[in-house]
């Protein structure tokens, strides 16, 4: 009887569980899926054009105007390919692994605040969840490498796991630095703090002692990298770590073509390979978004209000309005895409590093630097309040 009474109560504000079961999920899922897959179309084309530009080539030019339709031609080719499963492979795991990898990357999109009003899940543990999900990618890669039953695949998988597990430590430290400044794990709250719609007062460089109130200036002055200038160095470390996490050059040891064919992807063909490819690009975009949200002011405009020239007000709108959401999405996507371009620039500039150099960089350079910066950020936080 008691049960029936409690059931008939109207549903109030959602708990985490109910957020999972019934709410913006139905809209958010297709939007994020479209975002991740759509980015592959843009990302692959950009990557090929950027690399062509850097190597003084033209890149794809044949299919469509300026080769714009090249990726669709490639997709058509991949769709026609046979889905080969090696006879000695562990069939079930082999087929499952790409899905696990993609799912774990894609699940990360759930907590990203893409605009001031759009966030698939407002879970209070946002960024912490993101870190957990990123670390779960490892299991899928290990599955793919082991199930292929091929020594290059296994080597690739083990390299990849060693790399990702190691780089998670400096990555966690850098994320912690940003969280220290914002005092919240929710990415949407972190976003609100970094702009003119912040509920708290922002001082110049975060220092209360300066007494210069920049809450009204907005723009770049309220971004995290200027609320605590040391976060600029932190962002550099974060960027290096995310390169390693997404297995991008110069950290592409797990799929280094000249050494181990292509690592855990060696045995995959057709659409399954495309899924692996998709998750690599989805990961690039995810970490770029994360960097933009944590350090580069999220969906806030970079232009400050200067006296009567209300640049920040003109280029962003109140949360809740259409204009606010459109400009918010524009700035966030712009920042993330800029970070993706830098990732590509790095890839086509730097040679692949050796595995011992990779470990050295992580454990002896980035981790100690991350710890020192964490200490500095903590002290800075004390100066902020």
Partner 1 sequence: MQPNDVAVNIPEVIQQIPLNYYLIFSTALFVIGIIGVLTRRNAIIIFMSIELMLNAVNTLLIAFSSYRSDPTGQVFVFFIMAVAAAEVSVGLAIIVMIYRNIRTIDVGVLNKLKW
Partner 2 sequence: MNQFNTFLASFKNLTTAGYLFYGLGLITLISAISVVTAKNPIHSVLALIFTFFCLTGHYMLLNAQFLAIVNIIVYAGAIMVLFLFAIMFLNLKEEDEEAKTNVTKMAAVIVGGVLMVLLLSIFNYAPVGTYNPASFDAKTGLVERLGIVLYSDYILPFELASILFLVAMVGAVMLGKREAGDPHF
**Binding of residue 122 to partner 1 (CB under 8 A):** yes
Q: Which of residues 347-376 bind partner 1 (CB under 8 A)?
A: none
Residues found near partner 2 in the complex (CB under 8 A): 3-4, 7, 15-18, 20-22, 90, 93, 123-125, 128-129, 131-133, 135-136, 138-139, 142-143, 146, 154, 158, 161, 165, 185
Pick from 223, 201, 186, 199: which is nearest to 312 by CA?
223
**Binding of residue 119 to partner 1 (CB under 8 A):** yes
Q: Which residues pair with 306 in a beta bridge?
A: 309
Contact with partner 1 (CB under 8 A) among 28, 97, 107, 123: 123
For residue 90, the partner it binds in partner 2, partner 1, none, with Cβ less than 5 to 8 A by kind, is partner 2
Nearer to partner 2, 131 or 340 (CB): 131
**Binding of residue 15 to partner 1 (CB under 8 A):** yes
- Distance CA(57)–CA(64), nearest Å, equals 18
52 and 348 Cβ atoms separated by less than 8 Å: no
**Binding of residue 117 to partner 1 (CB under 8 A):** yes
Nearer to partner 1, 150 or 325 (CB): 325
* Shortest distance in whole angstroms from residue 291 CB to partner 1: 21
* Shortest distance in whole angstroms from residue 220 CB to partner 2: 30
**Binding of residue 259 to partner 1 (CB under 8 A):** no
For residue 188, the partner it binds in partner 2, partner 1, none, with Cβ less than 5 to 8 A by kind, is partner 1
Pick from 348, 342, 364, 113: which is nearest to 236 by CA?
342
Q: Which of residues 263-322 bind partner 1 (CB under 8 A)?
A: 319
CA dihedral 133, 136, 141, 142 (to 10 degrees): 180
Nearer to partner 1, 54 or 124 (CB): 124
For residue 22, the partner it binds in partner 2, partner 1, none, with Cβ less than 5 to 8 A by kind, is partner 2
Cα–Cα separations (whole angstroms), residue 369 to 230, 237, 248, 251, 361: 12, 8, 22, 19, 11
CA 222-225-230 angle, to 5 degrees, is 135
Q: Which of residues 164-193 bind partner 1 (CB under 8 A)?
A: 186, 188-189
How many other C-beta atoms are found inside a 10 Å radius of the C-beta of residue 304? Answer: 18
- Distance CA(248)–CA(242), nearest Å, equals 9
* Shortest distance in whole angstroms from residue 17 CB to partner 1: 5
Nearby residues of 295 by Cβ (< 8 Å), 6 or more positions away: 178, 223, 224, 225, 231, 232, 234, 235, 238
Sign (positive or negative) of CA dihedral 294, 297, 300, 302:
negative
How many other C-beta atoms are found inside a 10 Å radius of the C-beta of residue 6? Answer: 7
- Point out which residues bind partner 1 (CB under 8 A): 3, 6-7, 12-19, 117, 119, 122-124, 186, 188-189, 319
């Amino acid at each position: 009887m008691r049960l029936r009474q409690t059931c008939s109560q109207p549903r109030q504000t959602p708990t985490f569980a109910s957020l999972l079961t019934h709410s913006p999920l139905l809209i958010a899922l297709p939007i994020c899926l479209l975002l991740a897959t759509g980015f592959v179309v843009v990302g692959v084309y950009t990557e090929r054009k950027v690399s062509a530009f850097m190597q003084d080539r033209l890149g794809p030019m044949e299919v469509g105007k300026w080769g714009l339709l090249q990726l669709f031609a490639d997709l058509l080719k991949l769709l026609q390919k046979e889905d080969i499963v090696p006879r000695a492979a562990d069939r079930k795991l082999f087929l499952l692994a790409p899905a696990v990898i993609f799912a774990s990357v894609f699940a990360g999109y759930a907590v990203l605040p893409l605009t001031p009003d759009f966030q698939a899940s407002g879970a209070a543990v946002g960024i912490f969840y993101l870190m957990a999900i990123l670390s779960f990618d490892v299991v899928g890669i290990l599955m793919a490498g082991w199930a292929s039953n091929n020594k290059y695949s296994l080597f690739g998988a083990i390299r990849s796991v060693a790399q990702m597990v190691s780089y998670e430590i400096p990555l966690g430290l850098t994320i912690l630095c940003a969280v220290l400044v914002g005092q919240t794990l929710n990415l949407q709250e972190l976003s609100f703090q970094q702009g003119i719609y912040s509920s708290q007062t922002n001082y110049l460089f975060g220092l209360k002692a300066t007494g210069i109130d920049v809450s009204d200036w907005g723009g770049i002055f309220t971004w995290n990298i200027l609320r605590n200038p040391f976060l600029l160095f932190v962002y550099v470390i974060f960027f290096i770590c995310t390169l390693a996490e997404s297995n991008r050059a110069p950290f592409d040891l797990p799929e280094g073509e000249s050494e181990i064919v292509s690592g855990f992807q060696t045995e995959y063909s057709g659409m399954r390979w495309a899924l692996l490819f998709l998750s690599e690009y989805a990961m690039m975009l995810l970490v770029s978004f994360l960097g933009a949200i944590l350090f580069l002011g999220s969906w806030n405009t970079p232009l400050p209000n200067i006296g009567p020239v209300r640049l920040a007000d003109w280029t962003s709108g109140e949360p809740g309005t259409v204009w606010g959401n459109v400009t918010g999405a524009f700035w966030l996507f712009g920042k993330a895409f800029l970070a993706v371009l830098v990732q590509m620039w790095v890839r086509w500039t730097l040679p692949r590093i050796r595995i011992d150099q990779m470990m050295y960089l992580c454990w002896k350079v980035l981790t100690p630097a991350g710890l020192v910066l964490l200490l500095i950020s903590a002290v800075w936080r004390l100066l902020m309040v």
